[in-house]
Structure 1
Amino acid sequence: MKMTIEVDCSPEEARRFLGLPDVTTLNDHLVDEMRKRVDANMAMISPDELVKNWMTFGAGAQEQFRKLMEAGMGAATPKT
């Protein structure tokens, strides 16, 4: 036997019926905090800052790769 029950209610009515806590104030607080953090970090999204960070990382990464290759070549060549 198969039975289907369809309940038509709002999310608020379902929350109350199931006895779940009302977390709208907590949700509002979290959204406000996230909005403040995004606004505070908006400067990091500017193209100038992104390029500056990438260039700094790129130069350091290139230097580390060069040192790795030199060490590999030094270990691979026979010493005379």
Structure 2
Amino acid sequence: MKVNVEVTCTPEEARAFFGLPDIKPMQDRIMAEIEERLRSSLGAMNPETVFKTWLPASMQGVEQMQQIQQAFWSQLANIATGKKD
């Protein structure tokens, strides 16, 4: 014997039937607080800080790599010309 039962109800009705709490008010408060924190932190950031935050760490080292490269070529030129430091 096979019995099929089909129930049509809203999520609120299902929560009430199973005795689960309605957490929608708590979710709304948390989402409002998250939104407020995001807005305040974004408003406090200047474009340079935002750029550095979003820029991957590997890209932040490009300037340092350029300095190392310039020092290397400068040392190589000094060796080629016979200059001493």
Bucket of the pairwise TM-score, normalised by the shorter protein: 0.5 to 0.7
Give me the TM-score of the superposition, normalised by structure 1: 0.54
TM-score by length of 2: 0.51
Q: 1:5 to 1:55 in 2, by over 3 A?
A: closer
Q: Any stretches of 5+ residues in structure 1 without a counterpart?
A: 67-80
The Cα of 1:26 is off from its aligned counterpart by: 0.9
Query: Judging changes above 3 Å, is the alpha-carbon distance between structure 1 residues 51 and 23 closer, same or farther for their aligned structure 2 residues?
Result: closer
Partner Cα distance (2:41, 2:21) in 1: 33
Segments of structure 2 that go 5 or more residues without pairing to the other structure are: 69-85
How much identity, in percent, do the aligned residues show? 33
Q: Is the 1:15–1:21 contact (alpha carbons within 8 Å) kept by the matching residues of 2? A: yes
Equivalent pairs counted in the alignment come to 64
- 1:5 alignment partner in structure 2: 5
Counterpart in 2 of 1:59? 61
Distance 1:52 1:31, change over 3 A: closer
Name the structure 2 match of 1:71.
none
1:39 corresponding residue in structure 2: 39
Higher RCO (CA 8 Å, separation ≥ 6 residues): 2
Q: After TM superposition, give the deviation of residue 43 of structure 1 in Å.
A: 4.1
Moved more, 44-53 or 25-34: 44-53
The alpha carbon displacement at 1:36 in A equals 0.8
RMSD: 3.5
Structure with higher Rg: it is 2
- Determine the structure 2 residue equivalent to 1:29: 29
Q: Is the 8 A contact 2:15 2:21 kept in 1?
A: yes
Offset, 1:60:
8.1
